[in-house]
Amino acid sequence: MLGSYILPHSLNTSQLQDFHSQTKVIRIGHQPHGTLVYLKNQATLEKRLESMGFSVEWTEFSAGRQILEAMGEGKIDLGYAGVIPPIFAQANGVDFVYIANDSSTPESMGILVPKDSPIRTLADLKGKKITATKASAGQYLLIQALSKGGLTLKDIEFVDLLPPQGQAAFKQGKVDVWAGWNPFLAELQENTPVRLLTNTDGLMNDRNFYIATRSFANDRAEIIKIVIEEAHKIGIWITNYPEQAAQILTTSIRMKPATALIVTKSRRYDAIPIQDRAIEEQQRIAETFFRLGLLKKRIWVEDAVWKQGFSQWGPFQ
């Protein structure tokens, strides 16, 4: 593991990446939930890479934005993030590539109001104080929901809070509406008197992406394929044994078993080579954020797609 090596403090990002390439350590960033948590728990990736002389270093991050930041700083090689963080990372100059994605599911995100709230339609959001995390899938869902209701961000009071802080503000009545994703969504639905105003159905496709630094993907294509194959396998296991998978989630984020099961069943974990449709949707999202002045420059998502891809390798093993 990385702890057995002494890193010179003077290494720049490029040198840091070269150092880890030489030591054959695969550095993977994961969130407290998602496919990579299960993959880490089962240790199947380590077993497969061991015979090749590689070890795996896992680092947990609170959200996808932090994973992309770490990738830009040369601290990790591979990661897993939702639809929005890669868009802003690309605009900020992080040199990464999309390598695979999970299929979308409408139940994994939503907009909540208190159970007794007078808000019944999307148009009723006008003038309300709404919390979501800026530059996140939650904010994009809110933008799309407002548009469907004939509104824009200018018609509401937007409160930028990370999901845990947003949860607290919502429970305390400091905001009228909460927009976000699982596991935070399920926790609120299970433990707080709330009502789902809308999920993502008809508004956006919420999926997760497997990403890697461009240099790692180009230099270690064989490792990329193995990681995605193992993620695909663990995804099949999650789908077939959701109760067992939920137990892992209960431990990783200290969640009630019933809530963990809801979270586990709310997503798809298929880990498939990057789809053209997913990239087209990413471009539409990027255009929306740019048009609203929330993205500092226009980007072309296609430029961040791993060109080498999986096409020459055939089906997963």
pLDDT on residue 5: 28
pLDDT digits (tens, 9 = 90+) for 71-106: 999 999 999 999 999 999 999 999 999 999 998 888
pLDDT on residue 13: 54
Question: Who wins on pLDDT, 125 or 312?
Answer: 125
Q: Strand 272-273 relative to strand 96-101: parallel, antiparallel, unpaired?
A: antiparallel
pLDDT digits (tens, 9 = 90+) for 248-285: 988 877 888 999 999 999 888 889 888 899 999 999 99
pLDDT on residue 311: 57
Residue 65 has pLDDT above 90, yes or no: no
Residue 299 has pLDDT above 70, yes or no: yes
Residue 4 has pLDDT above 50, yes or no: no
Residue 121 has pLDDT above 90, yes or no: yes
pLDDT on residue 19: 44
Residue 163 has pLDDT above 90, yes or no: no
Residue 235 has pLDDT above 50, yes or no: yes
Least confident of 11-25, 85-99, 150-164, 188-202: 11-25
Q: What's the mean pLDDT in 232-253?
A: 92
pLDDT on residue 146: 98
| Predicted confidence band of residue 293 (pLDDT cuts 50, 70, 90) | very high
Residue 8 has pLDDT above 80, yes or no: no
Structure tokens at 230: 């193992």
Task: Encode burial over 239-260: b for 16+ CB neighbours within 10 A, e otherwise.
Answer: eeebeebbbbbbebbebeeebb
pLDDT on residue 12: 53
Distance CA 224, CA 213 (A): 11
| Cβ atoms of 95 and 214 closer than 8 Å | yes
Q: What's the mean pLDDT in 139-145?
A: 97
| Predicted confidence band of residue 32 (pLDDT cuts 50, 70, 90) | confident
Residue 303 has pLDDT above 70, yes or no: yes
What's the predicted TM-score (pTM) here? 0.85
Mean pLDDT, the chain, as a whole number? 89
Least confident of 144-158, 172-186, 296-310: 296-310
Task: Show the domains of the chain with their CATH numbers.
Answer: 2-103+207-304 (3.40.190.10), 106-198 (3.40.190.10)
pLDDT digits (tens, 9 = 90+) for 166-225: 999 999 999 999 999 988 999 999 999 999 999 999 999 989 999 999 999 999 999 999
Q: What's the mean pLDDT in 226-253?
A: 93
